[in-house]
Structure 1
Amino acid sequence: MSRKTHKTNQQNNGDERDKALALPAHVAGRAGLAGSDTLDRLVETARDYAKASTTENTNKAYAADWKHFARWCRLKGTDPLPPSPEMIGLYLADLASGAGSSLSQSACRPLSVSTIDRRLSGLAWNYAQRGFSLDRKDRHIATVLAGIKRKHARPPVQKEAIQAEGIRAMAATLGFELRGLRDRAILLVGYAGGLRRSELVSLDVGKDDTIDSGGWIETHDDGLVLRLNAKTGWREVEIGRGSSDQTCPVHALEQWLHFAKIDFGPVFVRTSRDGRHALDTRLSDKHVARLIKETVLKSGIRADLPEKDRLALFSGHSLRAGLASSAEVDERYVQKQLGHASAEMTRRYQRRRDRFRVNLTKAAGL
């Protein structure tokens, strides 16, 4: 797809969403209405808020979901509007069988249950933006999805957690030039905070420094407090100082900010090609993923596996899983640090834990 076509598709998706946000017909049709300029400005403001209701990555995924479904409908000789539970049920079956996950003539790998579920959420969201309601409980959708889950559901494939010794080895592979200081701070702060990639790169030095900020940092004698506007809402993350400067996330961040001369705007930015100067451009979250994979290879973690398998085992989530698996503290503290609504979600991140610490069999008298 050309850049021009991609831009046009994004514009079309935005136009469709904006149609639901306009002046009422009885107001819009009255030209010269007193205060109409103010109302028009409020419409634009409402549209800006609507665009901010979901993250950029979610918007991209939902746009791709709609584009795929719309093309599938055209190939089947039908139209995606208005919503048809019968056709959506057939679409889900096509995705699960492997024929519909690609629109080429050749068969392809079936999509996972989680991906199909996400696609359905994307369709429901897109229909809502176009003024339609999609009933996911309709039998043509619900029964097909239940059958797909019963037949094809598998335990989720989890990325491997990076343990404490691993993160220390990864940090040790980095130099002490500006780029190395930055990347070391990313690894250590991301690990100690149990942060998502997007949370890391969206941090600013201060509150309201930039319009695309996802939070800011506060430095105290005992550590850092991160104020994050995360996917689960505003939350605080406390990162205490470590036992040595070599592995202390607070010290690593202070070193980066000091030598990069950053006291305003994004915390983690790009550097010049020679690695000696900090630029103004905020890092992409993709840099975090690349950094983790590169330092995993350099540090020799899981050297018993081929390089391709090692790269596939680790991702940005390895930092969050590593904290959850390594921190020998009450589970409630880990849950709070990761921003999880339930202990069950936290346990999914714990790759190594004492599963039988609480023995209900003995507690029940057996």
Structure 2
Amino acid sequence: MLRDMSDNTENSSSEAANGSSVNEDNERDHPDGEALSLPSSLAGSGALDRLVETARDYARAAASENTLKAYAKDWTHFARWCRMKGAEPLPPSPEIIGLYLADLASGSGPSPSQAASRPLSVSTIDRRLSGLAWNYAQRGFTLDRKNRHIATVLAGIKRKHARPPVQKQAILAEDILAMVATLPYDLRGLRDRAILLLGYAGGLRRSEIVSLDVHKDDTPDFGGWIEIFDKGALLTLNAKTGWREVEIGRGSKDQTCPVHAVEQWLHFAKIDFGPVFVGTSRDGKRASETRLNDKHVARLIKRTVLDARIRSELPEKERLALFSGHSLRAGLASSAEVDERYVQKQLGHASAEMTRRYQRRRDRFRVNLTKAAGL
């Protein structure tokens, strides 16, 4: 269905291993718009042909770019595995997929001549299965995840290999203050200070931060916009669960106020249209028109964590592994001393249980059931 569902690297390696044609594999594995083709009785209608392209564009927008890339790699890996085992990826076979999941969990090599690969985590295997289900749906097939050949193997993998989730460490209030204190007051420093403070106060994902525009519909790829008022800023975001609003009030002082930081950045960068957060020139004196990549947020967090000497008792490699873009969201959930429902709304979670997963220290032992039970 989607033309960009191929991975050149994987295809090249599988071609070398099997001597097969990459083009032939692509024709078989990635049908050109088959799921959105017209019925034969309507073929040749120019107006409908144009609507097919429009429908394909909407189909691409159903998932984020990163998700589509991950699903494309999932399918490429599975198709290559099938060829290595002498099987066919189409139509879906629950028996073959069950064997594939077992192979991922055990870490056995794709062929006797190759070394064993590293076993994948349960969460990665589950994500691979979701990727296969999505890819089969685009090709007009249905993958029944409840089929016993899939469900029982997956249940066994989870029972035998599941581990407690590895959570990134939360950036707490004292941490974020130390991190922004390491930034200079040049143009690049103003931008990065606004990113950290806005992301922390809003509990934002890194993709949500960089997708902001100054106004609604400033750019085709915008993921939200920001409105600044006397009492704070209102962000309207196109998040995973749909459009939502995030209120960010002004801080107690300008040095740590996220709204003031954004105002300073927009003013000195002379930005009044388009993306809020853009790159800067090499000398740090001019803002470009190019939207920042969300990876900049992750790199910024890791760099300022090191500069602020947070968790300095650990080796640098371990410190870097502890923190990521999600550390900002976990920090807000763990630090905000307000009713949990307000934190849940700010993070855009559908359930309080999801919000509690982000809380690293808050609410522990708040309710003492031991005493309540009379002990």
Give the structure-2-normalised TM-score: 0.91
1:27 to 34, 42, 53: 42
Aligned-partner Cα distance in 2 for 1:115–1:252: 38
Aligned-partner Cα distance in 2 for 1:331–1:158: 20
Deviation string 1:8-56 (CA, Å, 9 cap, x unpaired) is 99x959963622112112211xx5xxxx222111111111100100100
| TM-aligned CA deviation for residue 146 of structure 1 | 0.2
Match of 2:204 in 1: 195
| TM-aligned CA deviation for residue 358 of structure 1 | 2.2
Match of 2:48 in 1: 39
Aligned-partner Cα distance in 1 for 2:330–2:342: 14
| TM-aligned CA deviation for residue 362 of structure 1 | 4.3
Q: Is 2:5 aligned against 1:5?
A: no
Aligned-partner Cα distance in 2 for 1:175–1:214: 28
Structure 1 pair 61–233 and aligned structure 2 pair: CA distance change class (3 A): same
Match of 1:211 in 2: 220
Match of 2:178 in 1: 169
Secondary structure of 1:20's partner? helix
Q: Is 2:348 aligned against 1:339?
A: yes
When the two chains are superposed, the root-mean-square deviation of aligned CA atoms in Å is 2.2
Structure 1 pair 97–322 and aligned structure 2 pair: CA distance change class (3 A): same
Please say if residues 84 and 110 of structure 2, whose CA atoms lie closer than 8 Å, have aligned partners that are also in contact.
no
Secondary structure of 2:282's partner? coil
Structure 1 pair 353–362 and aligned structure 2 pair: CA distance change class (3 A): same
Please say if residues 7 and 73 of structure 2, whose CA atoms lie closer than 8 Å, have aligned partners that are also in contact.
no
Please say if residues 185 and 252 of structure 1, whose CA atoms lie closer than 8 Å, have aligned partners that are also in contact.
yes
Deviation string 1:173-218 (CA, Å, 9 cap, x unpaired) is 0011100000000000000000001000000000001110000001
Gaps of 5+ in 1: none
Please say if residues 7 and 72 of structure 2, whose CA atoms lie closer than 8 Å, have aligned partners that are also in contact.
no
Aligned-partner Cα distance in 1 for 2:86–2:258: 57
Structure 1 pair 251–364 and aligned structure 2 pair: CA distance change class (3 A): same
2:118 to 109, 114, 135: 109
Aligned-partner Cα distance in 2 for 1:304–1:65: 39
Query: Please, which moves more after superposition, 13-22 or 40-49?
Result: 13-22
The share of aligned pairs that are identical, in percent, is 79
Match of 1:16 in 2: 31
Q: Is 2:300 aligned against 1:285?
A: no
Q: Is 2:166 aligned against 1:157?
A: yes
Q: Is 2:99 aligned against 1:97?
A: no
Deviation string 1:218-276 (CA, Å, 9 cap, x unpaired) is 11110000000001111000100001111100000000000000011000000011111
Deviation string 1:295-339 (CA, Å, 9 cap, x unpaired) is 000001000000010000000000000110010110100000001
2:272 to 260, 263, 286: 263
Deviation string 1:134-182 (CA, Å, 9 cap, x unpaired) is 0000000000000000001111100000110100000010011100000
Q: Is 2:253 aligned against 1:244?
A: yes
One-letter code aligned to 1:106: A
1:226 to 225, 232, 235: 235
Give the structure-1-normalised TM-score: 0.93
Structure 1 pair 99–8 and aligned structure 2 pair: CA distance change class (3 A): closer
Aligned-partner Cα distance in 2 for 1:180–1:316: 18
| TM-aligned CA deviation for residue 365 of structure 1 | 5.6
Total equivalences in the alignment: 357
Q: Is 2:322 aligned against 1:307?
A: no
Aligned-partner Cα distance in 2 for 1:202–1:323: 20
| TM-aligned CA deviation for residue 99 of structure 1 | 1.8
| TM-aligned CA deviation for residue 356 of structure 1 | 2.1
Secondary structure of 1:252's partner? helix
Please say if residues 84 and 111 of structure 2, whose CA atoms lie closer than 8 Å, have aligned partners that are also in contact.
no
One-letter code aligned to 2:289: D
Structure 1 pair 103–223 and aligned structure 2 pair: CA distance change class (3 A): farther
Secondary structure of 2:367's partner? coil
Q: Is 2:90 aligned against 1:75?
A: no
Aligned-partner Cα distance in 2 for 1:103–1:155: 33
Secondary structure of 2:244's partner? strand
One-letter code aligned to 1:121: S
Secondary structure of 2:91's partner? coil
Please say if residues 186 and 284 of structure 2, whose CA atoms lie closer than 8 Å, have aligned partners that are also in contact.
yes
Please say if residues 250 and 257 of structure 2, whose CA atoms lie closer than 8 Å, have aligned partners that are also in contact.
yes
Match of 1:144 in 2: 153
Deviation string 1:274-302 (CA, Å, 9 cap, x unpaired) is 11100011000000000000000000100
Secondary structure of 1:16's partner? coil
Please say if residues 333 and 358 of structure 2, whose CA atoms lie closer than 8 Å, have aligned partners that are also in contact.
yes
Please say if residues 179 and 305 of structure 2, whose CA atoms lie closer than 8 Å, have aligned partners that are also in contact.
yes
Match of 1:85 in 2: 94
Please say if residues 188 and 247 of structure 1, whose CA atoms lie closer than 8 Å, have aligned partners that are also in contact.
yes
| TM-aligned CA deviation for residue 106 of structure 1 | 1.1
| TM-aligned CA deviation for residue 124 of structure 1 | 0.4
Please say if residues 189 and 250 of structure 1, whose CA atoms lie closer than 8 Å, have aligned partners that are also in contact.
yes
Aligned-partner Cα distance in 2 for 1:104–1:332: 55
One-letter code aligned to 1:5: N
Gaps of 5+ in 2: 1-5, 13-22
Aligned-partner Cα distance in 1 for 2:39–2:278: 44
